[in-house]
Amino acid sequence: MTPTRMLHKYTFVSMTICLALVLVSPLAAQLDQDFNSGGLELWAGDVNDFIVNAESRLQLMAPEGGNSLIYTPVSFPDSLSWEIALELDFAPSTSNALDLWLAVDDLADTALASGYKLSIGETGSDDAIRFISVDNGTETLIASGDMGQVADAFSLDLLITKDGSDNWSLQLRAPGAGLFTEAFVVNFADDKLATFSSFGLKCTYTSTRTDKFYFDDIIIKELLPDTDGPELVSSLVIDATKIQLQFNEALDESSVMRIENYSIEGSQSVSAVLFDDATPSELCLQLEEELEGGNTILIIDGLMDISGNVISPLELDLFFAAPPEKGDLVINEILYDPISGNDADYVELINVTEKYLNLDSVYFSRANSSAKDVQIGNKLIMAPGQIIAFTPDKEEIAETFLPIPEANIVELKITNYVNDEGNVSVLSVIAGESITLDSLDYTDDFHSGLLTEDNKEGISLERYSPTSATNDTNNWFSASSLSNNGTPGYENSQRALATQGDEVIELENKVFSPDSDGNKDFMRLRYKLDKTGYVANIAIYDDRGRLETYLIENELLGTEGSVIWEGTLADGSLAPIGMYIIYYDIFHADGEVISGKKVCVLAGRLN
């Protein structure tokens, strides 16, 4: 059999596996409703108190406080599962609560109903999801999840299963998390499930919670014996010699421990397998030698689940992602002064190396500020040259800047940055030791001189060259208006396009047009010197030899950098269209002098 090729580079999700009581898989659905069609035709009861909202979710929309109940007919086989996406946008209590009726005989009078339900909402801060058996209105608590688990507003996916041996389990996950984690498992004898006829939702609410209940993706399925092999959910290269693998079900230990079930292309090999039956869906491979990077292929074959189903052979591309070192990760763009009415700032990072970088240890910080450091985490890995923008509101940034589809934007709860001037720093913290990867002291002066104080709002600052000094004023410029004043998560509109040659002084953009269209908006004079200690004077003359402005006067230079001219004169006004001459004199204390001139043209549209 040809192995299935899979790529697992970025995420690893840990979970606690439910006890191996339900060795089953879902078959045909008794109920399957995602509300995408927008109708509530299947439901009875207080249907007028609910809507299908613009997000295609079922939402309570009651006119006043009270309680609302809807239900739908379902047949209940002996072994089945219930799955539902649930959000309560408030802290549950006895006055604001939910009864999720898994199976019930008659909901016309809930005071005399018989069935099984999950209840959410009780007095105090120890709210748990409770599994309750109801017999003619008399309730018996069968099992509970963790105390305090639903004490505050929450959004969860619930999976409830019951097998033919009367083993009931509740598993939970955050939306989009991929894997469920166990809330409880209980053996509870049932002899009446098949007699019930409905599934229902009962919301109890005060006048301020009449629209705070949300439901989606309600699926009730019969279960049949498991005949599918285990599937790989995620993989993680923990370090250069360890690979963590996560599967979707419990594994057979004897097959896990057979080293011959794992092979690596090339000279690498697996020396040991680490396995703990407390987490039977996970294993760790110990390698004989350290990984060197990408293009390392792991082949897995012969692995079985505890029902004896064999995995389909597969191949994995393995990458070892190391924590970034100083200079590996730099600040590439920042929006610190969004348009009035919008709250979201963003900071963009770029991986300037040929390495894969693991951002688990990376924090955003602010020098001389009481703002709390924010860890990136989430097993986020940056590929070589990759750009990622971080913002507290991804949707708002997308609506404001209309980034390209390939843009990498990650939502992160960073607080907004100070307008006008401030600091953004990027730290790596490992074993309590912190190093600064990059730090930018930004000011409004970094923006184009053609912008007024008022119209800098909503325009990001873009780094011109990732390899030039971060706090060099000449290394930052206002984002192009043709790029919607910002390029979050993708290549900057203002960026270095040409590499510097061997000349000491080079002129970039000999013809430029300062119109903020992202195309040669300024002239840049680059320098590359053989030693430190040079002092420079650089001046602009018109084609008749008249001094128009100084770019720098008696300024100490580094060994490499650049100076820009945005086409403005000494009084801040825009110079006329025409030809201009740049004169430079660079002096060293040892007597060496570098002098010369370059010619440029300021272009523009003719009226």
Three-state secondary structure along 530-569? CCCCEEEEEEEEECCCCEEEEEEEEEECCCEEEEEECCEC
Q: Which class would CATH give 24-225?
A: mainly beta
pLDDT at 501: 55
Single-letter amino acid, residue 391: T
The Cα 555–Cα 532 span in angstroms is 12
pLDDT tens track for 109-151: 777 899 999 999 987 778 899 999 999 999 999 999 988 889 8
Query: Of 380, 18, 309, 62, which is closest to residue 204 (Cα–Cα)?
Result: 62
Q: Which residue, 183, 167, 204, 179, is CA-closest to 79?
A: 167
Average pLDDT over residues 66-87: 94
Closest by Cα among 465, 527, 463, 452 to 496: 465
CATH architecture of the domain covering 497-607: Sandwich (2.60)
Which pLDDT belongs to residue 95?
Answer: 94
Strand order in the sheet with 115-120: 44-45, 66-73, 198-205, 97-104, 115-120, 130-135, 138-144
Share of the chain above pLDDT 70, in %: 92
Which pair of structure tokens corresponds to residue 139? Answer: 């309730």
Q: What is the C-alpha to C-alpha distance for residues 158 and 98, in angstroms, rounded to an integer? A: 14
591 burial level (CB within 10 Å; 0-12, 13-18, 19+): exposed
42-62 confidence digits (pLDDT tens) = 899 999 999 999 999 999 999
Residue with tokens 């940055």: 417
> What pLDDT is stored for residue 8 in this prediction?
38
Higher pLDDT, 74 or 516: 74
Helices (H), 346-418: 394-401
Task: Return the pLDDT at 6.
Answer: 44
Q: Which two tokens stand for residue 113?
A: 């109903």
The pTM of this model reads: 0.48
List beta partners, residue 69.
Answer: 202
Whether 183 contacts 146, CB under 8 Å: yes
pLDDT digits (tens, 9 = 90+) for 551-564: 989 887 777 778 89
Cα dihedral sign, 12-13-19-23: negative
Cα gap 18→16, rounded to integer Å: 7
Burial class (CB in 10 A: 0-12, 13-18, 19+), 54: exposed
**3-state class of 443 per DSSP?**
strand
Of 203-207, 278-282, 481-485, 491-495, where does the model show the most confidence?
Answer: 203-207
Which has more pLDDT, 57 or 226? 57
Three-state SS string over 299-341 comes to EECCCEECCCCECCCEEEEECCCECCCCCCEEEEEEECCCCCC
Give the DSSP letter string of 190-235: -S-GGG--EEEEEEEE-TT-TT-EEEEEEEEEEEEE--PPP-EEEE
For residue 256, the SS3 value is helix
Mean pLDDT to the nearest integer, 598-604:
93
Q: How far is CA 422 from the centre of its chain?
A: 25
Which pLDDT belongs to residue 149?
87
Average pLDDT, the chain: 87
64: number of Cβ within 10 Å:
9
The pLDDT value given to residue 561? 78
Query: 4-14+228-318 with 24-225: one CATH topology?
Result: no
User: Rounded to 5 degrees, what angle do the CA atoms 334, 339, 342 make?
Assistant: 95
Are 520 and 367 spatial neighbours (Cβ–Cβ below 8 Å)?
Answer: no
Q: So what's the pLDDT on residue 572?
A: 87
CA distances from 473 to 317, 468, 478, 586 (A): 42, 11, 12, 20
The distance in angstroms from the start CA to the end CA of the chain is 71
What's domain 322-496's architecture? Sandwich (2.60)
Alpha carbons 410 and 393: distance in angstroms, whole number? 9
Check residue 520 and report its DSSP letter.
Answer: S
Average pLDDT over residues 186-195: 90
What are the boundaries of each domain within the chain? 4-14+228-318, 24-225, 322-496, 497-607
CA angle 433, 436, 438 (to 5 degrees): 160
Structure tokens at 547: 């001094």
Q: What pLDDT band is residue 91 in, cutting at 50, 70 and 90?
A: very high
CATH code linked to domain 4-14+228-318:
2.60.40.1220
Q: Which residue has the higher pLDDT, 501 or 414?
A: 414
3-state secondary structure of 395: helix
Tokens of 565: 């001219």
**Other C-beta atoms lying within 10 Å of the C-beta of residue 98:** 22
